[in-house]
Amino acid sequence: MFHLVAPSLLSANFLKLEEEISMVNRSEADWLHLDIMDGVFVPNISFGFPILNFVKRITEKPMDVHLMIVEPNRYIDHFREAGAEIITVHYEACTHLHRTLQAIRQTGAKAGVSLNPHTPVNLLREVVNELDLVLLMSVNPGFGGQHFIEQTYRKIRELKALLNDQHSRAQIEIDGGVTLENARPLVDAGADILVAGNTVFASSDPLLTIHLLKSC
């Protein structure tokens, strides 16, 4: 079964950021995942436009930008200009989700919605045909290196059933606690895209690790 792998830059060594991105360029990875955190929506701050503009200059992979921020609609054009090819917002952060998704698509970027672990997938029923992807958080958002939440498998299957019922072509992306051990079960459950942070960047051989994630 074909699936995508998106290493998460949040887990990279920022003292060697260009080297880390060059490694991803050489790898079998499909996308480069970038988590944007504002310290309000989640209890952490990551990086903003200066880093994205730097990444844009050297990455050869599509920039998969995950906005863990309040009022994401205020910044959609800016993230697109900074190189985002996929822009994912949180259901929990969007008062007017349909409008926000339309705004993303108007920029030419792919539009995604992320759900926190406690948010049920059926809340997306009215917008699934406006989506290019749904990102399921398999840890509580805000920090890398957390343990995978086992109920994610059930949630993937529920989401897959909803997408099929609505004839939606949206892909399912999993973010948080993805390892070489659970990658295959996630794909078997219906995941299309695996985001991997520590599993890749803490590996002694990240190129091999990405290969194993791709070939699982």
Which residue of the set 30, 35, 192, 205 is catalytic? 35
DSSP 6-40: EEBGGGS-GGGHHHHHHHHHHSS---EEEEEEBSS
Task: Identify whether 205 is a catalytic site residue.
Answer: no
In angstroms, the first-to-last Cα distance of the chain is: 9
Question: Quick one: which of 197, 186, 128, 117 has its CA closest to 156?
Answer: 186
DSSP 70-121: SSGGGTHHHHHHTTEEEEEEEGGG-TTHHHHHHHHHHTT-EEEEEE-TTS-G
Per DSSP, the three-state class of 1 is: coil
Which residue of the set 38, 64, 132, 175 is catalytic? 175
Task: Identify whether 175 is a catalytic site residue.
Answer: yes
Catalytic residues: 35, 175
